[in-house]
């Protein structure tokens, strides 16, 4: 969450509640609605690390509110986040380890593992289909996220097929 | 009656040692609840639409035998949507071609609607296809010198529909697949994905009791795939029996059942689990960020 908040603050200074609203508005349903407490805790940490600074703004009839803005150090850490390629999917996942290790110990055979995993992926795909159907067409960012998840699953299934061909 | 058809062997998946309920599979055929048969269709347990017994296909390649399908027992009930998956060369096309009588079997039996079909001659197969089977080929073959509209209407006319029925059905199908504007085009003027959708419309034109489709979404982008999925979902809900070869997991996940082939044999056969009820989940809750 740290870098997402830095990115929003690079656009304009804001107080905690505005950041929550901005996340909701930009991502639609693609981002689980952030908890305001969590946002304040993160802002506190960013402030301690010198990446943001807060100024008190006086309000009539209300307690002061803190408006946060990005420091030079914050800008720098945001720039290096944007400049780095993002880590790809982790292919050596738990199923991979299971597939290699379980048959060695005699607790499961590979064909059964692969078949079960295929059914599981297809069930996940069915969930995603259903999710896409009940996501509003205007919720474009969310639909792209779902499509990304579908394509990843497709790749996982293709890979299972390769395993089945090669390990049988 | 063909009570024996398809009943000779248990499926490979039954030997996998896990509990069928845990695997999300339906109970074995003999305990299968009668409600599987769609309401209003047939009151009693009907013959399966398709049943094969130890079906084998061996091609001859310059004198060398190439076993493409090696002993397949498959039973598909009325109204079922079965996806066939498996690596390239595993025998998927060969299997569906045999089910449609487009490729003769080497040995074994094929039963369609409770009648023996593998022993039929070519003209009897042609008649059967015209009446009962819609086929979408992996490499779609439309009639080149006919318009899209005529390509789609032809099977319905051959099956005995009136010209008006055939036209109405054609209009509905082309509309569902976003092809209304292409009705007067010749197949050669269409993009690959468009030809593929026309082939699907044509296969559904005579309201076949069985739809056999070989990679019907292979050339489609995701929007066109969505149209095809929607149409398939609709005809399936109306009781259409579908056997479909596909690599596309989105398509396969809509099926009632997925059959996996490897080296010409069924290595897995089971139901796709129903969506888990998660009425309030949104994309952000379901799709996790990594890292
Ligand atoms: N007409 C033919 N003559 C000789 N061999 C054939 C013929 N048709 C298919 N084969 C062989 O039979 C095997 C199964 O082929 P088939 O086309 O059924 O595979 P498939 O599962 O549909 O593959 P793909 O996913 O690539 O479409 C392959 O080894 C193929 O080379
Ligand atoms: Mg094929």
Substitution target from B283, B285, B291 for chain A, most A beta carbons within 10 A: B283
**Structural domain boundaries in chain A:** 2-83, 94-167
Q: Are A67 and A57 in contact (CB under 8 A)?
A: yes
Name the maximum alpha-carbon separation found in chain A: 74
* pLDDT of amino acid B30: 39
pLDDT of residue B175 exceeding 90, the answer is: yes
Interface ipTM? 0.75
> B18–A86: do the CB atoms touch at under 8 Å?
no
Could you say which of A89, A131, A153 has the minimum Cβ distance to residue B249? A153
Residue nearest to atom 26 of ligand 1 (CA): B88
- Give residue B91 CA to ligand 1 midpoint distance, Å: 6
Alpha helices, DSSP H, located in A12-139? 16-27, 36-48, 72-83, 94-105, 110-133
User: Both tokens of residue B225?
Assistant: 């795939």
Number of neighbouring beta carbons within 10 Å of residue B265: 17
The predicted-structure confidence for B89-144, as pLDDT tens digits, reads as follows: 999 999 999 999 999 999 999 999 999 999 999 999 999 988 899 988 777 678 88
Residue ranges lining ligand 1, Cβ < 6 Å:
B 59, 61, 66, 68, 86, 88-94, 138
Q: Please give the number of the atom of ligand 1 that sits closest to the Cα of B86.
A: 21
Minimal Cα distance from B24: which residue of A? A119
> With bands split at pLDDT 50, 70 and 90, how would you rate the model's confidence at B45?
low
Minimal Cα distance from A168: which residue of B? B262
The predicted-structure confidence for B197-235, as pLDDT tens digits, reads as follows: 888 899 998 889 899 999 888 777 777 788 888 888 888
What is d(CA A97, CA A90) in angstroms, rounded to the nearest whole number?
12
3-state class of A34 per DSSP? Answer: coil
Between A66 and B3, the more confident residue is A66
- The yes or no reply on domain B77-110+117-285 and CATH 3.40.50.300 is yes
The CATH number that domain A2-83 falls under is 1.10.10.10
> With bands split at pLDDT 50, 70 and 90, how would you rate the model's confidence at A149?
very high
In this structure, of A95-104, B219-228, B246-255, the range with the lowest mean pLDDT score is B219-228
The predicted-structure confidence for B7-20, as pLDDT tens digits, reads as follows: 333 333 333 433 33
What is d(CA B148, CA B142) in angstroms, rounded to the nearest whole number?
8
The environment of the single-atom ion ligand 2, i.e. residues with CB closer than 5 A, is B 93, 138
Mean pLDDT of all residues in chain B? 81
Q: Are B57 and B106 in contact (CB under 8 A)?
A: yes
In this structure, of B30-39, B167-176, B257-266, the range with the lowest mean pLDDT score is B30-39
Between A81 and B137, the more confident residue is A81
Could you say which of B16, B24, B258 has the minimum Cβ distance to residue A112? B16
pLDDT of residue A153 exceeding 80, the answer is: yes
């Amino acid at each position: 969450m740290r870098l997402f908040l830095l990115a929003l603050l690079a656009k304009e200074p804001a107080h905690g509640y505005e950041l929550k609203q901005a996340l909701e508005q930009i991502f639609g349903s693609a981002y689980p609605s952030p908890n305001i407490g969590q946002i304040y805790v993160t802002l506190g940490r960013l402030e301690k690390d010198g990446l943001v600074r807060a100024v008190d703004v006086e309000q009539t009839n209300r307690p002061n509110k803190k408006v946060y803005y990005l420091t030079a150090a914050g800008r720098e850490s945001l720039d290096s986040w944007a400049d780095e390629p993002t880590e790809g999917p982790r292919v050596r996942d738990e199923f991979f380890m299971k597939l290699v290790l379980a048959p060695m110990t005699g607790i499961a055979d590979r064909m059964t593992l692969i078949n079960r995993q295929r059914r599981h992926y297809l069930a996940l795909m069915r969930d995603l289909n259903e999710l896409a159907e009940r996501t509003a067409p205007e919720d474009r960012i969310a639909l792209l996220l779902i499509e990304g998840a579908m394509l990843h699953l497709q790749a996982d299934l293709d890979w299972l097929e390769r395993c089945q061909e090669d390990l049988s | 009656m063909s009570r024996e058809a398809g009943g000779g062997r248990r499926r490979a998946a039954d030997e996998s040692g896990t509990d069928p309920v845990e695997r999300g599979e339906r109970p074995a055929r003999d305990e299968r609840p009668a409600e599987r048969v769609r309401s209003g269709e047939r009151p009693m347990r009907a013959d399966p639409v398709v049943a094969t017994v130890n079906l084998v296909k061996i091609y001859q390649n310059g004198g060398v035998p190439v076993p493409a399908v090696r002993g397949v027992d498959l039973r598909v009930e009325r109204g079922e949507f079965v996806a066939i998956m498996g690596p390239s060369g595993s025998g998927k096309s060969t299997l569906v071609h045999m089910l449609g009588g487009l490729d003769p079997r080497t040995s074994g039996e094929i039963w369609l609607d409770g009648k023996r079909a593998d022993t039929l001659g070519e003209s009897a197969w042609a008649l059967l296809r015209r009446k009962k089977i819609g086929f979408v080929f992996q490499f779609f073959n439309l009639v080149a010198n006919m318009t899209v509209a005529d390509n789609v209407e032809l099977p319905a006319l051959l099956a005995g529909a009136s010209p008006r029925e055939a036209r109405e059905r054609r209009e509905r199908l082309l509309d569902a697949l976003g092809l209304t504007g292409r009705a007067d085009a010749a197949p050669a003027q269409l993009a690959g994905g468009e030809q593929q959708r026309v082939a699907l419309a044509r296969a559904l034109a005579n309201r076949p009791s069985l739809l056999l489709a070989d990679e019907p979404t292979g050339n489609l982008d995701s929007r066109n795939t969505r149209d095809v999925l929607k149409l398939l979902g609709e005809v399936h809900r109306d009781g259409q029996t579908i056997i479909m070869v596909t690599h596309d997991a989105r398509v396969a996940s809509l099926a009632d059942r997925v059959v996996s082939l490897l080296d010409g044999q069924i290595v897995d056969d089971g139901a796709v689990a129903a969506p888990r009820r998660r009425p309030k989940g949104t994309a952000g809750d379901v799709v996790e960020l990594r890292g």
